[in-house]
Amino acid sequence: MSVANEQQWRCRTEPESRRPIAAAALLIIAGQTWVAHSLALRPVWVFPAVATALLVASIAVYETSESPGMLARVLSFVLVTVLVIANGASLVLLVHGVFVGSSLSPPGLLTTGVALWVADVAVFALMYWEVDGGGVESRAAGYEGRYPDLVFPQQQADQQGLAPEIWKPRFYDYLYVSLTSAIAFSPTDTLPYTLRAKLIMGAENVLCFATLAVIVARAVNVAHG
């Protein structure tokens, strides 16, 4: 990474608003609640209640503080971790429903599997957004002495002039990273440079591959009647 390129991503910008991200998290919680209800995860309210409480606490801290500190970061990270665990628990029940038996119809199980895969993509997009470079505030402040966990094409030296000098990744960029990782099961145009980024991407690959494998198995069964 050249010095000129480092000066580009070290520049200071306004942090991305967390309000759209909070709305996305709320939609994820709603989707997970539907999946948990469909798969008879009991008690249904546990993961949604914990996630909602963490989301409300996170919003309260960020809205009442001019400079969010460690508490805000911990709340955000724990929230995303709970969402990942909820998806993992739903995957276990989905596997049980497909290979052992479920009260859902075969098309119902197939639909639930697709919804769970979509939730995986959205949840890991939030995870990348929260983790990369120390979080949104750190990225806006020029990474505050850190280095990016994920390196986008716009941050690479050979891509100079193809994006504004103040370019920083935003949530939809992480959503794209999550989507391509969930489909290709490997990095595409954006590379994980740190161990934690590799671990997170690896976890997404495993969850999404397992979910898609179950979806395919159910689709084959539905096709054969």
Could you tell me the two tokens for 98?
């497909």
pLDDT at 85: 94
Task: Measure the CA–CA gap between 83 and 88, rounded to whole angstroms.
Answer: 9
Q: Is the pLDDT of residue 132 over 90?
A: yes
pLDDT at 68: 65
Domains of the chain, by residue range, sit at: 3-223
pLDDT at 1: 45
Average pLDDT over residues 105-128: 90
Task: Measure the CA–CA gap between 88 and 8, rounded to whole angstroms.
Answer: 38
More confident of the two residues 130 and 146 = 130
Query: Over the range 66-95, which residues count as b (16 or more CB within 10 Å of their CB) and which as e?
Result: eebeeebbebbbebbebbbebbebbbebbb
Record the pTM.
0.88
Task: Measure the CA–CA gap between 167 and 17, rounded to whole angstroms.
Answer: 16
Name the nearest CA neighbour of 136 among 61, 57, 73, 199: 73
Name the nearest CA neighbour of 209 among 177, 189, 175, 186: 186
Helix, strand, coil share of the chain (percent; to 5): 70, 0, 25
**For the chain, what is the mean pLDDT?**
85
pLDDT tens string 44-90: 889 999 999 999 998 888 877 766 677 888 888 899 999 999 999 99
Identify the band that residue 174 occupies on the pLDDT scale cut at 50, 70 and 90: very high
